[in-house]
Amino acid sequence: TQCSCTGLPPGSGAAVTPSSAAGTHHYDLVVIGGGSGGLACSREAAQLGQKVAVLDHVQPSARGTAWGLGGTCVNVGCIPKKLMHQAALLGVAMDDAGKFGWSIPGPVSHDWSTLAQAVQNYVKSLNWGHRVQLQDRKVKYFNTRGSLLDRHTVRGLDAKGTEVTAKSLTLSSSLISVGGKQYWQMFIHAWTEVMFGIFNKVTFALVKSHGQNLSRMEDCGASVYVGLECAGLLAGIGLDASVMVRSVALRGFDQQMAQLVTGHMEARGTRFHWGCVPTSVEKLPSGLLQVKWTEVRSDLERVEREDTFSSVLWAIGRVPETTGLNLPQVGVQLHPDTGKIVVATDERTTVSNVYAIGDVAEGRPELTPTAVKAGKLLARRLAGQSNQLMDYHSVPTTVFTPLEYGCVGLSEESAESRYGKDNIEVYHAFYKPLEFTIAERDASHCYVKVVCDRAGVQRVLGLHFTGPSAGEVIQGFAVSVRCGLTYAQLRDTVGIHPTCAEELTKIHITKRSGLDATVTGC
């Protein structure tokens, strides 16, 4: 499939007469990448009267896994992760149930195949739903790999890299929303041993690999939060999980909160190998994997370690899926360090009619909701319906570890760096969720923190929460933070009792005071 661009000014929304050449069709927008952002943009543009096409094809992973329309979030990311996280939470709930009067006959066990099949069935329903939505909005879907032949032409290639048809499409604008792929090739090239791994991009697609295959899991990576989430949910369904960390957990997040998250995981049995770098993996005759790593204790002290595991999961990050798009040849600039596409505030690349959103764009949060929002706003601008740009500041997010961590705004470290330590005020509290009391669960890692500008009205710069349903808590407060929430307004808000979220409305002790921040009473 070839899509030939007329080079009209982006956002003109002007109608273009299709070329008289045989097999030529016009599209106002051609989207390369059928993930959350690309689909949101295509549907919105079509709803606004634009003629739109989407090109999307999933290259099978190293283990041969492929999936349907919807991108990482739907197939191997947010959706299956949250469902499996819920499975782990139910395991904890069953542990608590007896103290609340429930009688559960034992022994209680978990069947991975049942869970994985249920998750995959739901994911497939979403795949189908996306295709139906495109069809309903008259968006043309091509199950092909898209690339830029030149700045005015997009072509479609099949899985073997050959052009599918000779059909040409004229277009006004194109959008690159191809996301990223798992980062693991560096290890494959470096190691000579027999390799076996379950990569972070395909963990949620496994249907048959529980029992002995996953009984002892080593998770390499914790700076990328999916590593901690995977370790947490695997431990939650009864597996022996370990996490290897090269430097810090949850890089880019508030580090005090990160330590609370990992501290809770350690208290519940997950082992952490801190300051460690894997050096090799060898598959033994028994089928187990022998992992060797270097523990870096100081600049002068290094200790070689090894252990055996039934499975290894790489969660060391992702790289942009820009290979094969022909971007540099067309004039689209890539960041020299990250390989991501350099974009302006309006998502425009260095080629005036080519745009990029989502994980593939440099400097953008790698979060589904930001890609969705950015895609919709871009569609409205291209259709001439709006001038609104995406605001990437104060974007809320949640890490779905066993003890969830939600936040919006600046971390304490970022606030200190931007405003100075003496110019911020940090309010905090350790609290105990009511549901933890009868269950006698450890609440020492349940914590709230509000980072404020110390001057004037004490505007809230960042809000952080570890505890049950962190995402639900932070989503509500995120609205007020974006509206310029002040500490006084937070304190004037009447809390809902008894909830964990109300602790944010009662917070009054500052770190500067040195007072005990433990909440007492109900």
Using DSSP's 3-state secondary structure scheme, residue 93 falls into helix
Among residues 266, 277, 271, 121, the alpha carbon closest in space to that of 204 is found at 121
The CA distance from 296 to 309, in Å, is 21
Q: What are phi and psi of 340, to 5 degrees?
A: -80, 165
H/E element, 418: helix 412-419
Q: Which amino acid is at 168?
A: S
In three-state form (DSSP H/G/I as H, E/B as E, the rest C), the secondary structure along 242-297 is EEEECCCCCCCCCHHHHHHHHHHHHHCCCEEEECEEEEEEEECCCCCEEEEEEEEC
Size of the chain in residues:
522
Largest Cα span, the chain:
78
Using DSSP's 3-state secondary structure scheme, residue 439 falls into helix
To the nearest 10°, the Cα dihedral for 47, 48, 51, 56?
-50
Using DSSP's 3-state secondary structure scheme, residue 320 falls into strand
The CA distance from 6 to 257, in Å, is 51
H/E element, 450: strand 447-453
Q: Contact at 8 Å (CB) between 445 and 260?
A: yes
Joined tokens for residue 107: 């022994």
Q: Which residues are catalytic?
A: 497
The CA distance from 484 to 365, in Å, is 21
Burial 203-223 (b: 16+ CB within 10 A, else e): bbbbeebbeeebebbbbbbbb
Q: How many CB atoms lie within 10 A of CB 496?
A: 10
H/E element, 126: helix 112-136
**CA atoms lying within 13 Å on the CB side of residue 381:** 20
Among residues 44, 222, 211, 207, the alpha carbon closest in space to that of 137 is found at 44
The CA distance from 247 to 238, in Å, is 27
